[in-house]
Structure 1
């Protein structure tokens, strides 16, 4: 699959899932979770949503620049996806009472987000 289509598709699906999870958290989990756990869930949801939009941006950028699988923009997409899985995924897990063994994964997800943004910044050609 070409990078443009891949990232727009993945970003759109993850964006839709983040809206669903946000509604689930606001309506179903509010009565079940503690304030701290609900705040953790909301943080996971916000980062998932923002980085889903970033994935769509990566797809549009790959299309605009005509870049393939070895481009910095494409690599940024992989880091954003890894960040969503590790950062948001581990926070969702912790908020819902999962074992704290995934706690150390959260900072790795944050690092993935940072690397993705820096790769995105350097993906523009110098013209």
Structure 2
């Protein structure tokens, strides 16, 4: 993973977090239950947190963090995007239950990424 590509993913995920956050707060506010909205917001928050970390890792690019970068990119796709899919499909009456087990796998990728940062710095 190159420095430019890492920063590109950071920018894409950061931009999408803003768009999804605004979409959830405004367009979906009347369609989602309080619990659904909270879940959607969790996806947005974790996406933004990890977009910011990707930006930092890209800006201070070191090859030993390549696997961390991959973990965070995959984690965002699996964790945040599965939450968006679960919430939206449930809100529109066709819950995609197959996405349920994907969310914790994404969370494990986040944990692995943070563990790799720890291991690479000690």
User: TM (normalized to structure 2)?
Assistant: 0.89
Aligned to 2:58, the other structure's residue is in SS state helix
Runs of 4+ in 1 over 3 A off after TM superposition: none
Unaligned runs of 5+ in 2: 90-94
For 1:93 and 1:84, the matched residues in 2 are separated by: 13
**Residue 49 (str. 1) matches residue 48 (str. 2):** yes
Aligned to 2:71: 79
Alpha-carbon deviation of 1:106? 0.7
Aligned to 2:81: 89
Aligned to 1:39: 38
Indicate the structure with greater helix content.
2
Alpha-carbon deviation of 1:123? 2.8
Q: Aligned Cα RMSD in Å?
A: 1.4
Which moved further from structure 2: 83-92 or 114-123? 114-123
Unaligned runs of 5+ in 1: none
For 1:101 and 1:113, the matched residues in 2 are separated by: 20
Deviation per residue, 1:33-63 (Å, 9 max, x gap): 111111110000000000111111221232x
Alpha-carbon deviation of 1:122? 2.7
